[in-house]
Amino acid sequence: MYLLGYYLVVLLTVVVTVRAGRNVRAKDLKVTLPSGDKMSMIGFGTGGINGVKTMTNILDDALSAGYRLIDAAAFYENEEDIGIALKELLPKHHLTRNDIFITSKLAPKKDLFGEHAYEALKQAIQRFGTDYIDLYLIHFPGYFPLPEPNMNFSALRDETWKQLVKGQKEGLVRNIGVSNYNIRQLKELLRNDHGVKPAINQVEWHPDYHQDELLKFCKKQGVALQAYFSLGGVNNKTVLLEKPEVKQIAIKLRKSPSQVLLKWALQQNVLVVPGSRTRKHMDQNLDLNFKIPEADMKILNNLKQAGRISMFPDIII
């Protein structure tokens, strides 16, 4: 009798836990990074958003909607705007610096790469006006303009990483990672990681362009894959949002095409950072508590991939 009661309690606990797990709202979904920090699976992309007033208005909406991860970059020239906006917005939203997660990226420029990377990180922190950055990425495995088509950036990447590891040891940055790295570049980094393995690799990722081998490799190595251009980017969004297969699945599931595209990534444990200037879209993009049936996942996974949207060169040595 006793034992039966015990088993019932265990069973109930399991059921309740599983149900609670299923009901975690998408905005609260987190992954644990190698440092132990937890990072939201859905972040807010700020590429193309500039100016203090515009940034403040948009981030005000994003924080109200529930976003806590802000994806920025020196390349977007908006680190300072974000810093100023947050000074006003954090108190307004009853938040502190610790409640939000700031990602930024080392711009692909010659005078920031290699031995200059540590200084570049410090300058980024100054622009934000904060004490630290949560996640700092090497934006690109090389810099522009390419000095020569066959420039070998291998040694420079290694030096860059070494500088970022120093920044992490000193607490300037909590986590470090990379962006736009392919398997070869990741392998090279993992072979000689100076004691810190990359927390994430942020790459272009959507039904028209997904590198499944890269995802498999990242999962095996414990490097989280984070998607950009999940909705096709600002200039090319109709390509994905109006794709017949995406629209059909959206109608069937009573979701928007954007929700289908974001959920398609999350359901494969790929993190997302959609950008939006529209409050309704911001809400929609966090409202992802549904499941795409396996058959529909297959349809999206097996579409003929039109290829990448970003203009980054394909091959960087």
Ligand X SMILES: NC(=O)c1ccc[n+]([C@@H]2O[C@H](COP(=O)([O-])OP(=O)(O)OC[C@H]3O[C@@H](n4cnc5c(N)ncnc54)[C@H](OP(=O)(O)O)[C@@H]3O)[C@@H](O)[C@H]2O)c1
The residue ranges that bind ligand NAG (CB under 6 A) are 152, 154-155, 235-236, 239, 306, 309, 317
Cβ 77 to ligand X shortest distance, Å: 13
Cβ 55 to ligand NAG shortest distance, Å: 24
Q: How far is residue 317's CA from residue 67's CA, in Å, rounded to a whole number?
A: 36
Cα distances (Å, whole numbers) of residue 100 to 11, 43, 106, 170, 300: 36, 10, 20, 20, 32
Q: What are phi and psi of 95, to 5 degrees?
A: -120, 160
Nearer to ligand NAG, 31 or 239 (CB): 239
Cβ 258 to ligand X shortest distance, Å: 3
Which region, judged by CB under 6 A, interacts with ligand X, from 90-98, 123-131, 227-235, 263-271?
227-235
154 binds, among ligand X, ligand NAG, none (CB under 5 to 8 A by kind): ligand NAG
Which region, judged by CB under 6 A, interacts with ligand X, from 90-98, 168-176, 224-232, 294-302?
224-232
Alpha helices (H) in 209-293, listed in sequence order: 212-221, 233-241, 244-253, 257-266, 279-286
Does the footprint of ligand X cover residue 45 (CB under 6 A)? yes
Does the footprint of ligand X cover residue 210 (CB under 6 A)? no
Does the footprint of ligand X cover residue 177 (CB under 6 A)? no
Q: What are phi and psi of 224, to 5 degrees?
A: -75, 140
Cβ 184 to ligand NAG shortest distance, Å: 9
Q: What are phi and psi of 85, to 5 degrees?
A: -60, -45
AA letter at 262: L
The residues assigned a catalytic role are 76
Does the footprint of ligand X cover residue 116 (CB under 6 A)? no
Nearest to 233 by CA among 273, 202, 201: 273
Per CB under 6 A, contacts with ligand X among 125-154 are 139
Does the footprint of ligand X cover residue 256 (CB under 6 A)? yes
User: Is 139 part of any known ligand binding site?
Assistant: yes
Q: How far is residue 289's CA from residue 135's CA, in Å, rounded to a whole number?
A: 26
Q: Transcribe 87-107 into DSSP letters.
A: HHHHHHTT--GGGSEEEEEE-
Nearer to ligand X, 160 or 202 (CB): 202
Nearer to ligand X, 127 or 237 (CB): 237
309 binds, among ligand NAG, ligand X, none (CB under 5 to 8 A by kind): ligand NAG
239 binds, among ligand X, ligand NAG, none (CB under 5 to 8 A by kind): ligand NAG
Does the footprint of ligand X cover residue 180 (CB under 6 A)? yes
Among 130, 182, 185, 202, binds ligand X (CB under 6 A): 202
Cβ 73 to ligand X shortest distance, Å: 7
Give yes or no for a contact between 306 and 239, defined as CB atoms under 8 angstroms apart.
yes
Instruction: With both helix axes pointing from N to C terminus, report the angle between 79-92 and 117-128 in degrees, rounded to the nearest 10.
Output: 40
278 binds, among ligand X, ligand NAG, none (CB under 5 to 8 A by kind): ligand X
| β-strands 271-272, 224-228 pairing | parallel
Query: 222-244 in b/e burial notation, b at 16+ Cβ within 10 A?
Result: ebbbbbbbbbbbeebbebbbebe
Please report, as ranges, the residues that interact with ligand X according to CB under 6 A. Answer: 45-47, 71, 139, 179-180, 202, 228-234, 237, 241, 256, 258, 273-278, 281, 284-285, 310
